A and B are shown apart, each in its own frame.
Chain A
């Protein structure tokens, strides 16, 4: 494991309770410097609460954390000097123009007059927003808002950038744009901690992934390691007739004694198998039941299947991003 000083974030036993609900119920997190680290989980898993605690916006009820070596409890202002937070909803002043939003933040960081104007201009140029710089933010598209929002988090280069569901609600093109932006930032040396409910997003971006459910971390590792946890291989079967999906799932489950996962699109079934012999056994069981197989293949599990294996529930889909 990495040494303390190599870690951008080191959190132990983080707890947050709202009323009687334990939103975060004791989470440890080690995020190495310069890495994109994803917190993956369904809605209400506690991802945002964990992020808000680490970004000094919520006081933890238990646990301790250091961000870039600064203690979250003892020195929250010190933490604020080395982080930037981009919340789930674009946190911009809609009445002001993009340029004014950036100038406002630049002045709050200590840039004066002309320097603040220059800083805003170079951020606008860098994020391809120069032409829209004098438009009010309320007239921006979703993708433009997100870019301005991220630009606003880079007025000074942070040590750690927190991104709460950076692509929720974006169309596929805008999403791809934000992804390449995040990758570029990490290449520049910024540590990024992002939350997502999209398995595809975590798989695409993150060096490490922590899977969170009901306020607890249920798994952590690289995408490859997590996939290995779900079993050595997956057998994917597409019945020729969509109407036989339920029956085929029951037969596979009985034959292998394992949970059968139905894909997001609803056309395939996947089930973990130890080896080709087991796969063969499962396919024969289908044939014996008179279920015609349209297609089958063996492969590594997807993150979605991993999530299913870990939680017993299907993960959220990347939705339109799969298009």
Chain B
């Protein structure tokens, strides 16, 4: 088969046509940027993943606004004003599962073996995961916000409020992402990362103030919801978008991402180095 005619090409060493002068060793930053570039390429090649990212939040937005909105807040429009910041939080938290899934896929496919046998900065691959997260959260958040605007949502704090809100969302995604990186390093298949992830996330997201004010809940649940970090994030985000946020609210919202990062980043690095 001519497909496999390799002929004279297979002489890459000294003097062969494939011989090449070794470039100087690149910096850690350069390595990290290459992995970021990989994340962008992946996004370009797999546009379908956009569908996975925004389908559920779009359905939630439409369903809750038009089906329950009137009953929950008097009118769909008023409910949307309450719900949209919450659905942004939910979207980012759900979508932070993807870097763990991606890490698990790369490990399973042996891709990380190649990366780790290269003389590069050993943590550079994580930079790619973070760029992927930023892209996902930015794009998914942007789409949800755009749909919200079409349906009549108005962020009273204007552009600065929206920018502040997205910064908070990135911080939350960054913090929650560590949970899935740990799972991605521990389990064997990407599907399991998803399953584990959602088992952990569902109760936290639903038992929060994303969809309704906890005032109507039974006492024990209300206590849980008020302490739930997801609720703190949602409160801060509502505040940022409407221009009423206090430093205390934002500070409370940032506690969970900060704690997750401090606790889990060393675990991720230790697991990764041990693999």
**Bound Cα distance from A112 to B18, whole angstroms:** 18
Q: Are A57's CB and B20's CB within 8 A? A: no
* Cβ-based interface call for A292 (8 A): no
Which residue from A108, A152, A174 sits with its C-beta under 8 Å from B31?
A: A108
Q: Are A77's CB and B110's CB within 8 A? A: no
Q: Which residues 66-123 of B sit at the A interface, judged by CB distance below 8 A? A: 106, 109-111, 113-120
Q: Are B42's CB and A56's CB within 8 A? A: no
Which residue from A91, A110, A112, A115 sits with its C-beta under 8 Å from B114?
A: A91
Which residue from B4, B31, B34 sits with its C-beta under 8 Å from A173?
A: B4
* Cβ-based interface call for A11 (8 A): no
Which residues of B lie under 8 Å from residue A83 when comparing CB positions? 117
* Cβ-based interface call for B248 (8 A): no
Which residues of A lie under 8 Å from residue B3 when comparing CB positions? 128, 143-144, 173-174, 177
Which residues of B lie under 8 Å from residue A89 when comparing CB positions? 109-110
Q: Are A173's CB and B110's CB within 8 A? A: no
Q: Which residues 62-92 of A sit at the B interface, judged by CB distance below 8 A? A: 77-78, 80-81, 83-85, 87-92
Which residue from B9, B17, B19, B110 sits with its C-beta under 8 Å from A128?
A: B9
* Interface size of B as a range: 35 or more
Tell me, rounded to whole Å, the shortest Cβ–Cβ distance linking A266 to chain B. 30
Q: Are B117's CB and A123's CB within 8 A? A: no
**Bound Cα distance from A173 to B23, whole angstroms:** 36
Q: Are B117's CB and A188's CB within 8 A? A: no
Q: Are B11's CB and A108's CB within 8 A? A: no
Which residues of B lie under 8 Å from residue A309 when comparing CB positions? none
8 additional contacts (CB under 8 A) given A55-B117, A108-B118, A177-B4: A95-B41, A96-B42, A100-B41, A111-B23, A122-B17, A126-B18, A173-B3, A187-B11
The chain A residues found within 8 Å of chain B, CB to CB, are: 52, 55-57, 77-78, 80-81, 83-85, 87-97, 100, 104-105, 107-112, 115, 119, 122-123, 125-128, 136, 143-144, 147, 152, 154, 156-157, 173-174, 176-177, 180-185, 187-190
30 A–B contact pairs at CB < 8 A? A56-B117, A57-B117, A77-B119, A83-B117, A87-B110, A91-B109, A95-B41, A95-B42, A107-B37, A108-B31, A109-B118, A110-B23, A110-B24, A110-B25, A110-B30, A126-B10, A128-B3, A128-B9, A143-B4, A156-B20, A156-B23, A157-B19, A176-B4, A177-B3, A184-B6, A184-B10, A184-B11, A185-B10, A188-B13, A189-B14
